[in-house]
Amino acid sequence: MLLTPSCTDALEMSALLAELRPGDEVVVPSFTFVSTANAFALLGVRPVFADVDPLALNIDPASVESLIGPKTRALVVVHYGGVPCDLARLTRLADEHGLFLIEDNAHGLLGKDCDAPLGSRGRLATLSFHETKNFSSGEGGALVINDPALVERAEVIWEKGTNRSQFFRGQVAKYTWVDLGSSYLMADPLAAVLTAQFAASSEIQARRAGAWNTYRDELGDWARERDVRLGTGSADGEHPYHLFWMWMPSLQVRTAFISHMRQRGIQAVFHYQALNASLMGQVLGGRVGECPVSEAASDHVVRLPLFSDIAPTEVRAVVEAVLGFDDAAAGT
């Protein structure tokens, strides 16, 4: 594993390591953060947007399969909210079509799929330590290298295209420019911050799990009565509790809900804009309407506050505020 300044950087390293060329295609989920696609677009590789499944908002293997063509070289998957994608089908598709599989595991650190840690099935996986993630150094990330054949080149790309890592280990007498690369190293002080975060990992995860479980347990009846769907956890446990999301019945109700929460001093936020329908996504060939679930999710999904130092009293206040939301009174 190599620490990087961000998950975005780790994704850019992945695109270089996969030896993708201009004109190649990479299949990515449409419902994800920009960097999942942008890292590849920087190299002239065309992102092709797969839709997500409506239950977990994870990349839909059937959609992936329909998009694989003669130019497809790689597949990037995201475990949305830390709930595993259908890795059995996705790894089979990658194997059958010779695709380079990358897990953008920004949400899924500590999560498991059956017994396998998320981020252990792709040839590469990326992590984020951005302030919005479970473990944070403000900005930060990592590249997880699961294929030993990629380690040496990953170190070179990480060290500005030089074999300086080998020099530090005494394997070469001096270091020199040997390949393409950039400055993808995390600064040591940030690594120290991260070390402290990981030392507190069980407390962080216990607090997040407490908040997540309280939301799920306390909001079930409220949600059912209002046609709101609560996001699921992992079927097999070992859930990273990265985010708690709800599918609201309409954009109008979601807008009223967010403003209701804001009036009570609580930030409920939404994400992502479906990448196929974004400005840049369309420049790169995406079309509005091609990822219907992802596009609907952009209008319906809202997240409740879930951060690593959230206090039980804050969780209680969020629950009370949600229970006080009456969509009829909100005029929707």
Positions in the binding site for ligand PLP (CB under 6 A): 6-8, 32-33, 35-36, 78, 104, 106-107, 128, 130, 141
Least distance between ligand PLP and beta carbon 134 (Å): 11
Class of residue 217 by CB neighbours under 10 A (exposed 0-12, middle 13-18, buried 19+): exposed
Rounded Cα distance between 82 and 107, Å, is 5
Rounded Cα distance between 96 and 69, Å, is 12
- Name the residue nearer to ligand PLP (CB basis): 82 or 260: 82
Least distance between ligand PLP and beta carbon 8 (Å): 3
If you write DSSP's letter for every residue of 49-117 in order, what string do you get? EEPB-TTT--B-HHHHHHH--TTEEEEEEE-GGGPPP-HHHHHHHHHHHT-EEEEE-TTTTT-EETTEE
Q: Where are the beta strands (DSSP E) in the chain?
A: 2-4, 25-29, 46-50, 72-78, 100-104, 112-113, 116-117, 124-128, 141-145, 229-230, 244-247, 301-304
Least distance between ligand PLP and beta carbon 119 (Å): 12
> Residue 95 contacts by C-beta under 8 Å, 6 or more apart in sequence?
none
- Name the residue nearer to ligand PLP (CB basis): 14 or 35: 35
Retrieve residue 285's tokens: 């060939």
Task: Find the angle CA(122)-CA(200)-CA(144) to the nearest 5 degrees.
Answer: 15
- Name the residue nearer to ligand PLP (CB basis): 78 or 150: 78
Least distance between ligand PLP and beta carbon 168 (Å): 26
Least distance between ligand PLP and beta carbon 104 (Å): 5
Least distance between ligand PLP and beta carbon 218 (Å): 26
Question: How many alpha carbons fall within 13 Å on the CB side of residue 41?
Answer: 18
From the list 84, 106, 316, 323, the residue with the least C-alpha distance to 211 is 316
- Name the residue nearer to ligand PLP (CB basis): 129 or 325: 129
- Name the residue nearer to ligand PLP (CB basis): 33 or 49: 33
Rounded Cα distance between 116 and 105, Å, is 13
Rounded Cα distance between 7 and 9, Å, is 5
- Name the residue nearer to ligand PLP (CB basis): 123 or 130: 130
Least distance between ligand PLP and beta carbon 135 (Å): 11
Q: Is the peptide bond before 80 cis (omega within 30 degrees of 0)?
A: no
- Name the residue nearer to ligand PLP (CB basis): 63 or 128: 128
Least distance between ligand PLP and beta carbon 277 (Å): 17
